[in-house]
Structure 1
């Protein structure tokens, strides 16, 4: 991920509903969630949810898959990895061992 993509991801996550959507999709894991399920779970109108999902898609933090007439959304873990890698690229002044506890915490979800 580059600076422009990182700024888009930060802007996307800088809004409360979109942050909630992203966190919900991370929790849903490989099963993902249908757009209507997301809207219902977060008590957000479907047209508002559609706009928020579009912004998150554009940021590279989520992906979607069509299932007939419905669309299922997933957290894009590769996009998240790229986002975090960019943020931590120059971490710890060339002493990667100082960053290892942070990386371990992110990697294992502890």
Structure 2
């Protein structure tokens, strides 16, 4: 990942509603959510939510799929994993014992094979 790509992702998440939407979609993996349900969840007008979803899509954080008359949005966990890896790529100057607490903090969600992990 290049700096520009990481900046695009981080900029997309640097807004409260978009960050909340991304986290909601992560929680609803792998099924995703329809755009209208996302807008209702946050009590945001559909056109405003559409703009937020477009920003997240351009950053590669979410993807959409048309199902009949609905558009279903899903988090792109591979993209988020790439961003996280980019941020900690050179973690601790090659001293893994320093990075161990960070890795431990990231892994509790992954205790079950049914749960979604980065």
TM-score, L = length of structure 2: 0.87
Superposed, which structure 2 residues align to 1:1-110 within 5 Å?
1-109=1-109
Shift of 1:109: 2.0
- Distance apart, 1:64 and its partner CA: 1.2
Q: After the TM superposition, which parts of structure 1 deviate over 6 Å for at least 4 consecutive aligned residues?
A: none
Total equivalences in the alignment: 110
CA shift for structure 1 position 15: 0.6
Q: Could you say which structure has the higher helix fraction? A: 1
Q: CA RMSD in A?
A: 1.3
What TM-score do the two structures reach when normalised by structure 1?
0.93
Q: Any gaps of 5 or more consecutive residues in structure 1?
A: none
For 1:78, what is the secondary structure of its paired residue? helix
Structure 2 unaligned regions, length at least 5: 111-118
In the alignment, the residues of structure 1 paired with residue 25 and residue 36 of structure 2 have an alpha-carbon distance, to the nearest angstrom, of 13
* SS of alignment partner, residue 30 of structure 2: helix
Give the Cα–Cα distance (whole angstroms) in 1 for the partners of residues 2 and 109 of structure 2. Answer: 25
